[in-house]
Amino acid sequence: MMVQKKSAYNVAIVGATGAVGQTFLDILSERNFPINELKLLASSRSAGKKMEYNGKEYTIEELTHNSFEGVDIALFSAGASRSKEFAPSAVKAGAIVVDNSSAFRMDKDVPLVVPEVNPEDVQKNNGIIANPNCTTIIMLVPLKPLHDYGKIKRVVVSSYQSASGAGAAATMELINQAKAWSKGEKLEVSAFAHQLLFNVIPHIDAFTENGYTKEEMKMFNETRKMLHSDEIKVSATCVRVPVLTAHSESVFIETEKKITPEKARELLQNAPGVKLYDNPDEKVYPMPLLASGQDLCYVGRIREDIAYENGLSFFVSGDQLRKGAATNAVQIAELLIK
C-alpha cells in the first residue's frame, strides 16, 4: 500500500503526549511535512489536554478504534500492546501505520525500514510499517555503505545508552540523583535496577534464555531482516550509562572484502544520514553531546581492527529520540508520499 498523492495529508499521532510523540511534532514541523488535518491521540487520562503545533492549539483526543476515519498516515508511539490493539483499526479505516514499537518488527509481512538502509521495503507493506529499535537504527545507518562495499560477515557491538531511552521518568531519576548527590542526600532508585549516577548498568530490557537481553536480540534479528541476510552474525552487549540523551556504540565488523580505514572514510563521507567526525589527533570523535538534538549519526574512531583480518572498528553516536525513533518514522512517511 502507498498513500494516494495529495497536496497535504491527514496525520494522526498515537501517544502524542510521550517523549517520542512530542518529538514527532518537532520533526514534522522542522521537515515541513505537508499536513492537512492533525489528530493527537492518547489515553483517556490525557484526553482534553492541549498541545501546540506550528502555533496552533490542538485538543488531545482519547484513542479509540474509531479514531482513524479520514486519516492517511498514523504515527504510533504508544507501546507494543497499544499498537497491536489499535493499528489494525487504523489500517481498516484506510490509514498506513508507521509503528515505533516492537509489536510488528519481526512479522514477516511487515517491512522494517530505515530509509538510508532499505527504502525499497516500504512498498511491501500491507498497511503497517515498523520502525526499528533505536540502537539498531544508529548502528545500521553507517553499516549500510560498508556492507554494500565489503559484505559484512560479523558484527560485535557494545552500546552506551542514555537514560532518556528508558523514558521521561528515567531521565528525571538521573537528574534527581545528581541533585541529591550534590546536597549529600540519599539517592532514590526506581526506574532502573541500580543507581545510574556514577555507574553503568549492563542490563537493558529482560534477559532471555540464551543470556542476551531482548534489546541485544533486537540488534541481532533486526540487522538481519533489514540487510536481507540470515548469514550475518551479530553479538551485542547493551549498557545503560549516565548520559541524558543520545546513544553511542562501539562497533566491530568483519567483512568478506577488506575495507581499509581510508576506504571506510571515503564510503562514509557522503553516506546519507552520516556525519563523518573522525580526527582523533585533534580530539575530534563522536560523543552523545554532539549527537543530541541532531538527526545525523556521528561516526569516528575508524581504525583497522588488529584482532581480525578484514576487521574494522568505529564509534557512532546518535540521538535515539530523533533518528532512533521520531525522525526515522517521519522519513518513512516521506517515502510513502513520494
Task: Give the CATH number for residue 54.
Answer: 3.40.50.720
pLDDT in tens, 150-208: 999 999 999 999 999 999 999 999 999 999 999 999 999 999 999 999 999 999 999 99
In a domain, 218, yes or no: yes
Closest residue by Cα to residue 36 from 7, 59, 16: 7
In a domain, 52, yes or no: yes
The answer on 277 and 159 residing in a single domain is yes
- Supply the residues annotated as catalytic: 134, 247
Which residues in 266-300 are b (16+ Cβ under 10 Å) and which e? Answer: ebbeebebbbbbbeeeeeebbbbebbbebbbbbbb
The answer on 195 and 107 residing in a single domain is no
The answer on 127 and 15 residing in a single domain is yes
The answer on 313 and 165 residing in a single domain is yes
Mean pLDDT over the full length of the chain: 97
The answer on 313 and 300 residing in a single domain is yes
Which residues in 166-190 are b (16+ Cβ under 10 Å) and which e? Answer: beeebbebbeebeeeeeeeeeeeee
The answer on 173 and 31 residing in a single domain is no
Residue type, 250: S
Residues shown for the chain? 338
- State pTM to two decimals: 0.97
The answer on 307 and 168 residing in a single domain is yes
Count of the separate structural domains present in the chain: 2
pLDDT(54) > 90: yes
In a domain, 1, yes or no: no
The answer on 293 and 212 residing in a single domain is yes
In a domain, 58, yes or no: yes
In a domain, 80, yes or no: yes
Predicted pLDDT at 17: 94
The answer on 209 and 97 residing in a single domain is no
The answer on 231 and 118 residing in a single domain is no
In a domain, 249, yes or no: yes
pLDDT in tens, 126-157: 999 999 999 999 999 999 999 999 999 999 99
The CATH number assigned to the domain holding 204 equals: 3.30.360.10
pLDDT in tens, 208-258: 999 999 999 999 999 999 999 999 999 999 999 999 999 999 999 999 999
Phi and psi dihedrals of 318, rounded to 5?
Answer: -150, 150
Predicted pLDDT at 2: 82
In a domain, 2, yes or no: no
The answer on 272 and 227 residing in a single domain is yes
Q: Find the domain containing 310 and state its range.
A: 136-320
The answer on 75 and 157 residing in a single domain is no
pLDDT(20) > 90: yes
Predicted pLDDT at 141: 98
In a domain, 190, yes or no: yes
